Amino acid sequence: MTAIATATPLVLDREMPAFDVVITESIVVDAEVEATFVAARRLDFLRVRTPLLAAAFWVRGLPEWFRPGTTRPPPPRLVLGEGDPLPGWLVLGETPGRELAFGAVGKFWQGTIEWRDVDRSEFAGFAEPGFGKIACDLRVQPCGEGRTLLTYECRTGTTSPDARRKFARYWWLIRPFVGHVMRATLATIQRDLRPTTPPVLHSSRA
């Protein structure tokens, strides 16, 4: 597993300092840091749409509202920063004006995902064998006058060798789609800030 240490720890570092895989996507937007963070925090994830989104891995984990044949209407929005519920997912913490972190515990490599609801206080120490843990954040930092670097990072770890083997096979298949969804998410936030600003994307994967 890979460990990260920084002079000023992020919520993400506190909740998942060690992990098996990570994807980081960044975009430079022509907006002040404060406005960019507000837009990220208010993001409605249901507004993140691309032609490939239906194939991305996290669609399989959406609530029963989105499964074929269900009679339950979909929710009007999904704003994690404001506490909108999503089975298995929770807000891990927030550094106002800088970072919003969220995560989940589950067996997301299965055909029918088995999510495990845990309290925020239990997330970092959760170690029951057979599960995977996802920790993500949206964070901002200045990038020149009137510009902001907006970053979306997603880390995944597993709690046992058996879970690690199962996740490794799953990750090989869905890794490209994860990055696609993350880039689409950043582009959606950018459109909320500057509808006519073309994206400047930078990628880093491990």
User: Helix or strand or coil: residue 157?
Assistant: strand
The predicted-structure confidence for 65-76, as pLDDT tens digits, reads as follows: 455 555 556 667
19 C-beta neighbours (distance < 10 Å), count: 20
Higher pLDDT, 177 or 160: 160
Global pTM reads 0.81
What is the model's pLDDT at position 3?
A: 45
The predicted-structure confidence for 84-118, as pLDDT tens digits, reads as follows: 777 788 999 999 999 999 999 999 898 788 999 99
What is the model's pLDDT at position 42?
A: 92
Which stretches does DSSP call E strand in 12-112? 18-19, 21-29, 89-95, 99-107
User: Tokens representing 24?
Assistant: 């980081």
Residue 203 has pLDDT above 70, yes or no: no
Question: Considering the chain, what is the average pLDDT of its residues?
Answer: 83
Q: What's the rounded Cα separation, in Å, for the pair 120 and 93?
A: 8
Q: What's the rounded Cα separation, in Å, for the pair 158 and 170?
A: 12
Residues 6+ apart with CB under 8 A from 108: 57, 60, 61, 115, 132, 134, 170
Query: Is 144 in contact with 173 (CB distance < 8 Å)?
Result: no
The predicted-structure confidence for 76-85, as pLDDT tens digits, reads as follows: 778 888 887 7
What is the model's pLDDT at position 43?
A: 92
Cα-based angle 190, 196, 202 (whole degrees, multiple of 5): 45
What is the model's pLDDT at position 98?
A: 95
What is the model's pLDDT at position 52?
A: 57
What is the model's pLDDT at position 68?
A: 54
Residue 5 has pLDDT above 50, yes or no: no
Residue (of 81, 50, 44, 75) closest to 62 by Cα position: 75
Domains of the chain by start residue, with CATH: 19-63+78-205 (3.30.530)
Query: Is 133 in contact with 16 (CB distance < 8 Å)?
Result: yes
